[in-house]
Structure 1
Amino acid sequence: MTATYPIQPNIAAGDDPYTRPFKNPELPGEAFWGHKPAHHNGSYVYPGRAVLHFGPDHKWPYQPEDCPFTGMYCRVVLGGLATICPQCGLDET
């Protein structure tokens, strides 16, 4: 008996991780989610991923679209609530 598999699974838009919007968790204190970029240094960003700010006066050195960071080392912040890019604050949880 030979098993056959479909070449392209029957997945509707929004049912896969590439098109299903990510829901950012609630943040404590003055921290808030900022803009939701389309890409990070040219790489795809899942819909709904946003930039984390630690307060109203907090600024990152780069915007995600221009961020030079391409490493695998992200920062775990807010007691493990989020994992972010250390240069632009993009949520990479």
Structure 2
Amino acid sequence: MDVDFINSHFLVALEMGISIFDFWKITLSEFYAYCHAYNKRKINEHNSLITQSYYMAVFTRVKTLESLEKYLFSEDNKKELSKEELEQEKENLSKMFGV
């Protein structure tokens, strides 16, 4: 395997909380399963915080708010990007993070 490939996956594993020892024990398939589960957990945490904030705002405001579903991540709300939009997003993120 390519060294850059391993290094990039190693850094992702550390960010997800996988120990160094476990990283070298798991297969690539197991690693991707960890990534998928981690992303789902983070989306659930994000949606939970948004829901709490939304209900706090509802209880402290007189004016009615837009639907909560508008703010939550879901598979239905996912926007498919074209190749040009993906390239533009990649350039923007590269500039933002100095890569």
The two structures share one fold, judged by TM-score above 0.5: no
TM-score range, shorter chain: under 0.3
Rg comparison, structure with higher value: 2
Scaled by the length of structure 1, the TM-score of the pair is: 0.25
Q: Which has the higher contact order (CA 8 A, sep 6+)?
A: 1
What's the TM-score, normalizing by structure 2? 0.24
Structure ranking higher in strand proportion: 1
Q: Compare the two structures and name the one with the higher helix fraction.
A: 2
